[in-house]
Structure 1
Amino acid sequence: MAPARSASPAASLLLRNARPIAFGPGLPDGQRIDVLIGADGRVAAVGPGLPGAPGLPAVDLGGSWLSPGWADLHTHVYWGATDISVRVREVGAATGVLTLVDAGSAGEANFAGFREYVAEPARERVLSFLNIGSIGLVACNRVSELIDARSIDIDRTLACIEANRDIIRGVKVRASGVIVGAWGVAPARIASKVAKLAGLPLMVHVGEAPPLVEEVFELLRPGDIVTHCFHGKRGGNILEDPDLFDMARELQARGVVLDIGHGVASFSYEVGADAIRRGLLPTTISTDLHQHNLHGPVWDLSLVMSKLLALGMPLDAVVTGATRNVLRAVGEPHEALLEPGAPARFTVFDLVDAELSLPDSMRRDLRLSQRLVPRLAILGDTVIEAASNHRRAGGEPDSHRRAGGEPDNHRPAGVDHG
C-alpha cells in the first residue's frame, strides 16, 4: 500500500485496523488501514500504522469492513404526515445508513413539512424524490395521489423543486394499475416531462398493469430509475417475459438505474436469482422501508444487502450498490470518499456466518449462510453504535464467528483515549 496520505495535522479521532471496501479504484479491498479524522470532520490521513497522540480518541475496528456510509435510495420517512412512513431514527444511522432518500412520500402541497420536520433535524443526510402527485402518500393506497389530472400541478411542482434543489434530487411516480387505474401511462409521461424540465432524474415504481412495463421503459432516459426491478408480479416481471428482460438489460447499458426497492410486495427471489445468474445485477440496493415491512420482510438495509449476497452478487458489488451507486444516482459525490479532505461518512460492518431464513415479498424463504451486520456509523468524529432491526426485534442472533471462521469477539465500539 502507498504511504499514508495526509491533508491536515489536526485530528479528533483515529480509526484503527479497518478493512476498506467499495471505495473504488486505488484502494484495494481488504488491506488493513488506519483512518485519521480531523477536527473538521474530514479525512486527515489514511494508511497502515498511523501514529496516535496522547489524548486522541481511537477506535480499534478489529478488522471489520469499512465502507462509504450506507445509502438507501428508496425509503418512506415522512413520519406523521403519511400513514406508512417510519421515523428516520428507526432506519438511519442506528442501522448503519447515513443517507436516506424518501421516494415520493411528499408532493408539492406538503413538502414544506418534510423539509422542516424530517430532513433538516436529521443527523443523517435525508433527500427526496418529489411525488408528481401533489398530496404525496398521505393515505397510501387508500386515497390515490393520482386520481386524475387534478392530482398534478406542474407549475407548483416545478416551483417546489426550484426552491428546494438542495434536497429534492428527482421526481417520483407510481406507474401501477392499483394507483392510476384507467389513467394508464399518462402520469408517468407527465412526471417524465417535469423531471426533464427540472433537469432531474425520474424514479418510476413499476408493478401491476396498466400501464404495461414496456410503456414505462420507453419513457426512460439515462439517469432515470426503475424501482422494484426484480418484482414478481404477473404481467410485468422480467423473468416471465424474455423481451422485457432484454429491454431491462439495454436500459441499464444506457445508464438507467435498476433499483431493488424490496418493499412488502416488490422483490422476488426467483426473479432476482435468475437475473443475477444471467449477468443482470441491480444498480442499486434499496429497501422501500415503511410501516408494513419494517418488522418483516425487510427490517433494514443490511438484510436486503444480505439477501442479494445470498442470491449470488459479489460482496463488493453489494456494498457498492448500497453506497457509491446510490450517491451517484442522487447527484452526490461518489468518488474519492476515503481521500484526505473527504467528509468522514463511513459504515463499519462485519460479514458473519449465519443460519437465517428470510422471506422475500412473495413469502418464499431463502436460507442465508452469511449476513452483513452493521456495527458502527461514523459521522465526522462522531461514532454511533449500529445494529440490525432484525436483531432488535428478537430475530435470530448474529453468529459469533465472522465468515471464514475468524472469531468475532472484538465488538468494535470501544474508544481508547491512549
Structure 2
Amino acid sequence: MPLRLTNFKAVGFDGHATEIHVDADGRIAPGAIDGAKVLDLNGAFLSPGWCDLHVHVWHGGTDISVRAAEAGRPTGVTAMADAGSAGEASFHGLREYIIDPASETIKAFLNIGSIGLVACNRVPELIDWRSIDIDRTLAVIEANRDVICGIKVRASGVIVGSWGITPAKIAKRVAEMTNLPLMVHVGEPPPLIDEVFELLTPGDIVTHCFNGKAAGSIRDTAALFQMAQDMAARGILMDIGHGGASFNFKTARDSIADGLRPFSISTDLHQHSMAKPVYDLATTVSKLLAVGLDFDDCVAATTNAPRSVLGLTGAEGLSPGLRADFTVFDLEEAAIDVLDSQGNHMVMDRVFEPRWTILGEDAQTAARRLPPES
C-alpha cells in the first residue's frame, strides 16, 4: 500500500522534506498518491535506515550468532553486515538461510579462515596455514559479489597464536586481488596493533577501534594514537564494533576529545554480547553520544557512513525513484546506567529510541530493549 509520511524532522539527508510519498512498489514518489496510508510520525526524527556494520547473524551456523531479526528492524536497523561469521566453507548456508530470506538488507564480510566462527574461539579459525584456502575463497567471492562487501580477519592473539601477523597479510592480499576492503579485528597481541596498521590502505576498516585492551589499544602510546589519527585522515575507516570485550568508555571519550571520531558505530552483536553490555544499536549509539560524539556525527556514523560501505543510498535517500529505507526515532531524556566491555559504568542522560522502520512500502514499529538500570 502507498504511504504518506508526515510530521517528522529529517536528519542525515542532502535535501529537506516535510512529507515523503512512497508508491506501491516501495519507491519514493515525486508527489501525493491517491489512497495512500498516512503515517503521522509525531515530530520524530527520520533518517536514512540505520545500518550496523558489524553483527553476527549466521544463526545455527556458528555457536555465537543471533537471529537476523534480533539485530534488525525491531531495533531500528534496516541494513547490516555480518562480520566474518562464515568463511568459504559455509558461506553458501549464510546466504541461503539468512541473507536471501531476510527483510533487512544483509551483506557480509567473508572470513579469511575457511571455517569462520563455527565454534568461536573454542576452535579458532586461524590455527595454521591449513586454515586458509585461497583458491576456494576467491571462488566464493566471485560467485557472491552482490552480497560480499569485504574480507574479515581477526588479528589478535587468542585467534592467531604464534602465527602473528601472517593471516592479516594473507587477508590483505586477497582483498587487494578482489578489490574489496579489509575489515580487521584488533585486540590483544600478537600481532601488535601497529603491525596491523602498517598493512592498511584507504577504504579498509579497523573494527574495535576504541577497545581498552592493554597493548592492543590506540591509546597505548602517543605515537599509536597519532598513527590512528593519520590513518583516519587518509581514509582508513574506524569502526566501533562494541562487542563483549572491545569497547571502553575512557578510550572512546579521550579519543573523541582529541579529535578522532569513529567512521561507523556498530554493535558486534552476538549471543555473548546482546544481553549485556551491548543490547542493540540504539544503546550503542547512545553510549557514543554520552562520551562526547555530537548528534549529527552519531546519525552519520549509524546511517550514511556504514551504508556507503554496503553500496546503499544514504543522504540522497529522499530522491524520487529510490527505494524507501528509513528509520524513525526520538532522542529522549533518560537516566540509564550502562556498561562498557570492561565492566565500567556510565549513566546516559539522552538515548536514541527507534519508533518505526520503513523499508519499501512496508512500515514496522520498532522498540529498543532498554538495558536494566543498575
- Regarding TM over 0.5, the answer is yes
Residue of structure 1 equivalent to 2:223: 243
Please, which of 315, 318, 330 is the counterpart of residue 338 of structure 1? 318
Residue 2 (structure 2) pairs with residue 22 (structure 1): no
Contact 1:357 1:367 in 2 (8 A): yes
Instruction: Quote how far apart the aligned CAs of 1:45 are.
Output: 3.3
CA separation in 1, counterparts of 2:61 and 2:299? 32
Q: Does the residue aligned with 1:389 lie in a helix, a strand or coil?
A: coil
- Asked if structure 2 preserves the Cα contact closer than 8 Å seen for 1:77 and 1:85, the reply is yes
Cα deviation 1:141-180 (Å, max 9, x = unaligned): 0001000000000010011000000100100000000100
- Aligned partner of 1:402 in structure 2 is none
1:33 to 18, 22, 45: 18
SS at match of 2:277: coil
Q: How far apart are 1:230 and its partner, in Å?
A: 0.2
AA aligned to 1:42 is: R
| 1:194 maps to which of 171, 174, 187 | 174
Instruction: Show the 5 A alignment for 1:121-200.
Output: 121-200=101-180
**How far, CA to CA, are the matches of 2:315 and 2:42 in structure 1?**
26
- Output the CA distance in 2 between the equivalents of 1:288 and 1:166: 22
Aligned to 2:279: 299
Task: Write the distance in 2 (CA, Å) between the matches of 1:189 and 1:117.
Answer: 31
Counterpart of 2:30, as a letter, is A
Mapped partners of 1:245, 1:26: distance in 2? 36
Inter-partner Cα distance in structure 1 for 2:154 and 2:33: 52
Q: Note closer, same or farther for the CA distance 1:144–1:162 as it changes in structure 2 (3 Å cut).
A: same
Give the AA of the match of 2:22: I
Q: How much identity, in percent, do the aligned residues show?
A: 54
Distance 2:314 2:166 in 1: 34
Give deviations 1:202-236, integer Å, cap 9, x for gaps: 00000000000000000001100000000000012
Alignment correspondent of 1:5: none
Paired residue secondary structure (2:84): strand
Alignment counterpart, residue 30 of structure 2, candidates 45, 57, 64 = 45
Which of 324, 342, 355 lines up with 2:335 in the alignment?
Answer: 355
Q: Structure 1, unaligned stretches of length 5 or more?
A: 1-10, 397-418
Pair member with larger Rg: 1
Q: What's the CA shift string for 1:7-46, capped at 9, x where partnerless?
A: xxxx8110011111112x343xxxx711111122111137
User: Once structures 1 and 2 are overlaid, which stretch shifts more, 37-46 or 270-279?
Assistant: 37-46
Question: Is the CA contact 1:44–1:341 (under 8 Å) kept in the aligned structure 2?
Answer: yes
Tell me the amino acid that sits aligned with residue 21 of structure 1: V
CA distance in 2, matches of 1:389, 1:128: 25
Partners of 1:335 and 1:61 lie apart in 2 by 20
- What is the rounded CA distance, in whole Å, between the counterparts of 1:240 and 1:187 in structure 2? 23
Instruction: Give the deviation of 1:105 after TM superposition.
Output: 0.2
SS across alignment from 2:227: helix
Any runs of at least 4 consecutive aligned residues in structure 1 with deviations exceeding 4 A, and if so which? none
Separation in 2 of the partners of 1:333 and 1:56?
24
SS at structure 2 position matched to 1:117: helix
**Is contact 2:62–2:117 with CA below 8 Å preserved after alignment?**
yes
Q: Which amino acid aligns with 1:98?
A: T
Task: Give the drift of 1:341.
Answer: 1.5
SS of the counterpart of 2:346? strand
Task: Tell me by how many angstroms 1:335 deviates.
Answer: 4.0
Q: Structure 2 CA distance, aligned partners of 1:305 and 1:250?
A: 24
Give matches, 1:70-89, under 5 Å: 70-89=50-69
Q: 1:52: Cα distance to partner?
A: 7.0
Cα drift, residue 380 of structure 1: 1.3
- The count of aligned residue pairs is 373
Aligned position for 2:2: 12
CA offsets per residue over residues 237-265 of structure 1, 9 Å max, x none?
12231111111111111111000000000
How far residue 334 of structure 1 moved from its aligned partner, in angstroms, is 3.3
Distance between the aligned counterparts of 2:249 and 2:24, measured in 1? Answer: 45
Does the 8 Å contact 1:295/1:390 carry over to 2?
no
Over aligned residues, Cα RMSD in angstroms? 1.3
- Aligned match for 1:282, one of 262, 276, 299: 262
Q: Any unmatched runs of 5+ in structure 2?
A: none
User: Does 1:67 pair with 2:47?
Assistant: yes
Structure 1 CA distance, aligned partners of 2:292 and 2:33?
A: 40
Cα gap change, 1:66/1:335 in structure 2, threshold over 3 Å: closer, same or farther? closer
CA distance in structure 2 between the aligned counterparts of 1:45 and 1:278, rounded to whole angstroms: 44
The 8 Å contact of residues 97 and 347 in structure 1, kept in 2 or not, is answered as yes
* Distance across 1 between alignment mates of 2:243 and 2:23: 38
Structure 2: how far apart are the matches of 1:92 and 1:84? 17
TM-score, with length taken from structure 1:
0.87
1:372 aligned residue: 352
**TM-score of the aligned structures, taking structure 2 as reference length:** 0.97
Q: More deviation in 170-179 or 320-329?
A: 320-329
Task: Report the Cα distance in structure 2 between the residues aligned to 1:286 and 1:101, rounded to whole angstroms.
Answer: 10
CA distance in structure 1 between the partners assigned to 2:335 and 2:226 by the alignment: 35
Paired residues of 2:240 and 2:264 also in contact (CA < 8 A): yes
Contact 2:48 2:315 in 1 (8 A): no
Structure 2 counterparts to residues 217-232 of structure 1, below 5 A: 217-232=197-212
1:66 maps to a residue whose letter is: L
SS at match of 2:89: coil
- 1:347-398 CA-to-partner distances (Å, cap 9, x unmatched) read 000000001010000110111110000000101111111011236xxx35xx
SS at match of 1:107: coil
